[in-house]
Structure 1
Amino acid sequence: MIKLNEIKENYLEILVIFFGSLLSFYFPVLYNLRVFDFVSFAILLFLVNQRKNNIYIGNTIKSFFLLFTIFIVLSFLVSILNKAVEIHLPRIIGTFFAIIFSILFYGYFKNRVSKLIIGIKYTIYIHAIFFYIQFLLFFLLKQYVDFIKPITGNVSRNIGGSFNLDSAIRSSGLYSEPASYSLFILSLMSAYILYKKRIDLIDFIVLFSVILSASASGTVYLIAFIFVYFIIYSNTALTKKVYFASLVTLGAFFFIGLDYIKVDYLFEKIINFEDSGSYQYRIGNTNEVLSELTDLQQYFGVGYANMDIKGDKGSTYSALFIEHGYILGGFFMVIILSFFISHHIKIPILFYVLLLFMGTHTYAQIQFWIWILSIAIISTNLYNNERKNLQVIT
């Protein structure tokens, strides 16, 4: 539910997360710089400075990002040792920018969980509103609006193949493609519902946009989301679960009847996922690429930001093991799993987070860390509240 008082009292926190979420707004004339990342950082810096006496940066977060920095530096040295012809320096710079942003983000929101939740909530709502505006304008009025092109010059990938301006588009709102929109919405929803422990009607409307986007990967992630959060984790009463499930089913049939949901397209994409170019780019070609590397490169990767291999690094996992190899890649997985364990993340939630690593998340971007740190902060807050309640009972 939208509350004006919440927005008024927490508008800066909302803007930190919203501007930080604008992954697709990069500017070719500025070397693909994501200007809104710096806007988000500037607002966060202002908030930290205003409340610097109540900023928590503990040993856990310091240790994690120290180890992460060592991981990045070692992998960059591997790029040099591999005599990389092309090194993507903006990615190196972006990674260290993300580290600084992340430490400040954690320090500010660690003891302000309610503000974090409000920021996440309205960021989700804003993105869902833009998605539905784009979707409804086309299907009701046959007017196609690209929200990104007028600002950055980049064309959104809403049409192509069986989707065109004469029949249907794949809406994505403020993201350049449906897969990115779906991944982002489900990532932030995984943090939001983690805190709420229930899914209400507005949440279902937001989640339903993933199906309407016609993203095959998003649909798979959504099925897993429903299983983990709605069936296992949610405290919603069984009667309400049945009610919402029935409502969504009826809504799906309604949109299918209007041909707004391309069931045949989604079914074919999901069943024949191994033939999908997107799947090959994100996951499918990883083993083939690794098999063509030397033994040393398989162990330590080709190196961070090494652009000699540009393709087939479309997911967190594929980029991790191609660039960092089994040893350094395994090191990253150990430190991030240890970080999650130290923040008491529940097993089903951890499973879902690791599933979303099959998406296009990358740790060179602040969007990735907003999601990861939100999950960690919320998990710790819930754990501490449970312990307090238990102590009261005993």
Structure 2
Amino acid sequence: MSILVVQIPPRERLSADDGAAAPRGGGDFAYVLSPDGLAVGSSGRCAAALLPRADTVLAVLADTDCSWLRATLPKAPAAKLRAALLGLLEESLLEEPEVVHLALAPKATPGEPTWIAATHRPWLASQLAVLEGAGLLVERVLPAAWPDATQPHGHFSTVPGDDPQAPLRLTWCDVDGVTALRLQGSLARQLLARWQAGEAPPRWTATPAAAAEAERWLGTPVQLLSDEERMLEAARSLWNLRQFELMPQHRGMLALRDAWRQFRSPPWRPVRWGLVALVAVQVLGMNLNAWQLRSGIEQRRQAMDQVLRSAFPQVRAVLDAPLQMERETQALRTAAGRPGDADFESLLSAAALAWPEGRPPLDGLRYEPGRLTLPATGWSPQEIEQFKAQLRPGGWVVESAEGRLTLRPEGGA
């Protein structure tokens, strides 16, 4: 299950504009392609149209493109939750509410304090449009750093284009939020003293280009963490900034793809093997059942053939035992002078037994092999129903149409 994580370039801040950067459709995106979300497979930088394809596509924001607010999640319907959040955080926002995009922390509970991520909505929407215009279905948008209550984390990285005297930037995240600042002046030193005095020992990481400078400034070794590895760390988080108005319109497809990817994941391998075994057992069972049915049918056919040969030794070739037995029985009955159910005498006798009282004798009738047609002109519906009801228990079928009654044995044509 391959995963493509795309780094969205930092937003350009323009003092004379509304703060939105123009969509950079021709700009390059840094990316990392991983076969499993853990190891780096390949990485690089290219235009959106040239990005590799993968089963899952995620996007990561820069540290400075996401601000963090702490508030109690209001108890509001889903359709009105964003408006309730804007009203609650209006005084804390750095930009106009109509251009701010908000996203809740994973597993946020109404009525409980939670972290809320804020970013510039038109800019983020334009970047997602560039990626999706290149055929990439971005399922989640992730922050590069987020408030972490488990272990404080400080990450050093270079800031291209900054003052050469202060080329590093430190991103600090802990239970109190996320702070991104340059290593210049006394503020970083003051905060460092407070961070190191905390109860939990912090985790210090740095990109390879910033590691030496970071260790000199910090006075302690740091763990190397490349930009690609940091992007994969963000991909393993539960965060998703595609909420509210930026929620994907193809949620059903995403849910289906998520379910399919989960089914293909290693933890589901026993389930897959179990389903394969179940299908194999079902196929084997159906074939065995079909073989048993064919064997039973063949045994019954042989038994009927044996009955035919024993009852009528003169029959040499058995082609259709039931039909041949019926013909031979009919021939014996005819030879003995006994009428069959479909003969004229049997049909006429049955009709006479059920004939309504007060009805005059018949003016005429018509006989066909197995069928006797009687005129019923002037019969009332009650008489017709009584006639049918008296003959039905004896295995006779009576059909009425156009003033005629047709009598035949049940099962006859």
Taking structure 1 as the reference length, the TM-score comes to 0.24
Higher helix share: 1
Taking structure 2 as the reference length, the TM-score comes to 0.23
- Structure number with greater CO (CA < 8 Å, separation at least 6) is 1
Higher strand share: 2
The higher radius of gyration belongs to: 2
